[in-house]
Amino acid sequence: MPKKYHIDVQPVANRFPVIGRSGIIDWGEGCLKCAKCVKTECVYGVYKNRSFSTSIMSDTIDEFCKSCFRCVQGCPKRLIHKTINPEWEALGDKLYRPEIISITWEQAATGKIPVSGAGYGGKFSGSGFDSMWTDMSEIVRPTRDGIHGREYISTVVDLGRRLSKLEFDSNGNLLSHVPPSVRIPLPIVFDVFPFGDLSLNVWSAVTSAASKLGTLVFMPYEVAINFPEQSTSIVPLLSAEKAAIYDLGGFKIIELVDGYESGESIAVAKKRYPDVLVSVRMEAKSSPESIRRMLEYNSLKADIIHYVADEGGYEPGVDQGLHIKDVIKEINVGLLKEGLRDQVTVIVSGGIAMAEHVTKAMLCGANLVGVDIPLLIALECRVCRNCRDGLSCPVSISGINPNWGTQRIINLIGAWHNQLLEMMGAMGIREARRLRGERGRVMFMEDLENDTFAQLFSDRIS
């Protein structure tokens, strides 16, 4: 029996103090110096264990405090308060909210799937992936005990073209030429970073992580050639001209950017290297023109179509564009209508910010997803984008020890993988390949609204 896929996580400390959500404010003035100060009774011992770190000029108490408010209530002179940390509130952007950044840091540090008490405290729904819920099959499910179970859930996906039929000769010999394919143990690849204080250290960390996890990392060709021993884990990005002449030996997959000549260069690349898969990188748009181009690439035998949304997960350059989830649905249906869906692999990147987005993107129709910014967050990025403005990185990502970075990324992906297993287990799906386009296992808020509240309220005269 094949060995069960397992990701080795280990606790890896941050280099910088965590920017926490809430801080303690502790007035001294008016203190009664009570015989039994409430601070000595802290269940978590935060006052006892607090320290001042001179390396980062900050008090560690805010990291330990769990906001139980007992000291706030207990001090008879009301001298202790809790505040929301303004630095925390300012983190990130519309997609990478402070809560998401915090939880990504935590997963990168511990490798553990986030578990907490009490019910969900977030918003009812939201934009993008937040307006989707995954389903649970109440009665028809495999025997399963969550991520601790004995039952095997496979997260393997295959990249490459597929034949819709096989042809044999009269002696039973296979006549069909089976296209090359690459199998990876989980449906997540690492995509090119849209920004970042990057250096060879960072690329080395990401590449080692990809290699250890058995997955792939996409990077510019110029960077890829720095890692010849790991070339089978790397997908170099190339322009059409370069693909025609550069040495591509050692790579299993290459990626061409969608452009004027990329159609022809697919055939050129395949002629030079028959066993290499060719991926075409396209902007994730649902326009008829985009769908037409995609179908054209498919007919030119591109193995993979890689759709990339903007950093927020929306159609790049489109005013009030669709979210990637809706783009994937269109593309998936576009291919299904032509009876071509199985022929080509669809990867989706851009806007994949949380583990649940992996599952949701696949349920909308992707074969697998590419993740970019969360990997940087694993390296303590705060999504401030200073690097893009030519300013220095507050957490000096370029200077990381690659081994540290590798384990942080492995931790994050390990935690994501476990969350993928949780969601698949609840759905009753044992094969990640089955997630692709499985719209019956997902509930879109628009549909639930239409079925319920719209029926009740839309004909009302207010």
Choose between 66 and 292: whose C-beta lies nearer to another protein. 66
Figure out which of the listed residues 355, 375, 387, 432 binds another protein, where binding follows CB under 8 A. Answer: 355
35 part of the interface to another protein, by CB under 8 A: no
Cα Rg, the chain, nearest whole Å: 25
CB under 8 A: which stretch of 122-130, 306-314, 316-324, 395-403 binds another protein?
122-130
2 part of the interface to another protein, by CB under 8 A: no
Distances (CA, A) of 397 to 6, 57, 213, 235: 28, 19, 22, 23
Choose between 2 and 30: whose C-beta lies nearer to another protein. 30
Cβ count within 10 A of residue 319: 5
CB under 8 A: which stretch of 298-306, 366-374, 379-387, 421-429 binds another protein?
421-429
CB 333 within 8 Å of CB 403: no
Choose between 200 and 454: whose C-beta lies nearer to another protein. 454
Choose between 3 and 460: whose C-beta lies nearer to another protein. 460
Task: Determine how β-strand 217-220 pairs with β-strand 234-238.
Answer: parallel
3-state SS assignment for residue 92: coil
417 part of the interface to another protein, by CB under 8 A: no
18 part of the interface to another protein, by CB under 8 A: no
Minimum CB separation from another protein for residue 143, in Å? Answer: 7
What CA–CA distance (Å, rounded) separates 341 from 361?
16
Interface with another protein in residues 145-204 (CB under 8 A): 145-146, 148
Element (H, E) at 204: helix 200-213
28 part of the interface to another protein, by CB under 8 A: no
Minimum CB separation from another protein for residue 138, in Å? Answer: 5
What CA–CA distance (Å, rounded) separates 297 from 222?
25
Number of residues that bind another protein (CB under 8 A): 75
Interface with another protein in residues 133-152 (CB under 8 A): 133-141, 143-146, 148
3-state SS assignment for residue 300: coil
Figure out which of the listed residues 2, 28, 86, 119 binds another protein, where binding follows CB under 8 A. Answer: 119
454 part of the interface to another protein, by CB under 8 A: yes
260 part of the interface to another protein, by CB under 8 A: no
Choose between 403 and 452: whose C-beta lies nearer to another protein. 452
What's the length of the chain? 462
Distances (CA, A) of 363 to 156, 331, 430, 440: 15, 13, 14, 9
Minimum CB separation from another protein for residue 67, in Å? Answer: 5
245 part of the interface to another protein, by CB under 8 A: no
58 backbone dihedrals φ, ψ, rounded to 5° = -150, 150
What CA–CA distance (Å, rounded) separates 315 from 304?
19
25 part of the interface to another protein, by CB under 8 A: yes
Choose between 208 and 359: whose C-beta lies nearer to another protein. 359
Minimum CB separation from another protein for residue 439, in Å? Answer: 11
Minimum CB separation from another protein for residue 339, in Å? Answer: 27
DSSP letter assigned to residue 3: P
What CA–CA distance (Å, rounded) separates 235 from 69?
51
Record the tokens describing residue 31, joined without a space.
């203190």
CB 73 within 8 Å of CB 19: no
452 part of the interface to another protein, by CB under 8 A: yes
Minimum CB separation from another protein for residue 225, in Å? Answer: 38
For 361-404, give the DSSP string: HHHHT-SEEEE-HHHHHHTT--S--TGGGTPPPTT-GGG--HHH
Figure out which of the listed residues 55, 116, 170, 171 binds another protein, where binding follows CB under 8 A. Answer: 116
Mask: binding to another protein, 300-339, rule CB under 8 A, as x and -?
Answer: ----------------------------------------
Minimum CB separation from another protein for residue 338, in Å? Answer: 28
Interface with another protein in residues 56-95 (CB under 8 A): 66-70, 72-76, 78, 81-84
User: Which residues make Cβ contacts (< 8 Å) with residue 142, sequence separation at least 6?
Assistant: 151, 425, 428, 430
Question: Which one, of 140, 185, 156, lies nearest residue 440 by Cα?
Answer: 140
CB 323 within 8 Å of CB 314: yes
